[in-house]
Amino acid sequence: MPKQYWLMKSEPDEFSIDDLKNNKNQTEGWEGIRNYQARNFIRDDMKINDLAFFYHSNCKQPAIVGVMKIVSKPYPDKTAIDKKSKYYDEKSSSDNIRWVMVDVKFVKKFAQPITLQELKECPELEDFALVRKGNRLSIMPVTPLQYQTIIDMK
């Protein structure tokens, strides 16, 4: 199985690439995914050693800010049954957690972020889900060609 590529969104006010970089072991459990399409990507397709772009969303400068690596298999997201968590899901229970997560590890932070505007201006990326209008998917696949195109934009 060749390596796969992803893009994962996070609001930098909540969790930024610097937070990941400064974490113990530069690793974090990517919890709180509450969208079925995104969950299914994690559950069914994500593999250890896949690479993922770290995307800052809902902020002053939406942009791809770096790269991380998937370092665990999918496992149940226990914040779904933690009543104190903002990700608590009343329809999940300890024997039926509806949501999964993976651990990610920091790989690198770009010296210059690749902004959403730049991505939109790139003709090779017009089919990329991120730049399409109304896209709200928080985890999406990136093709090898798209990955290389984006890496080469720096």
Partner DNA sequence: GCCAACGTTGGC
The residue to which tokens 């195109």 are assigned: 149
Out of 22, 37, 40, 148, point to the residue binding DNA (CB under 7 A): 37
Nearer to DNA, 24 or 91 (CB): 91
Region label for 138, one of left (φ > 0), alpha (ψ between -120 and 50) or beta (otherwise): alpha
Question: Distance between CA atoms of 86 and 64, rounded to whole angstroms?
Answer: 25
Interface region with DNA, contact rule CB under 7 A, candidates 23-31, 32-40, 42-50, 101-109:
32-40
CB of 2 to DNA, least distance (A): 27
Query: What is the secondary structure of 24-48 as a DSSP string?
Result: GGGEEE------HHHHHIIIII--T
CB of 138 to DNA, least distance (A): 5
Asked if 113 touches DNA (CB under 7 A), the answer is no
Nearer to DNA, 35 or 49 (CB): 35
| Burial class (CB within 10 angstroms; exposed 0-12, middle 13-18, buried 19+) of 105 | middle
Binding site for DNA (CB under 7 A): 9, 11, 34-37, 57-59, 62, 91, 116-117, 120, 132-138
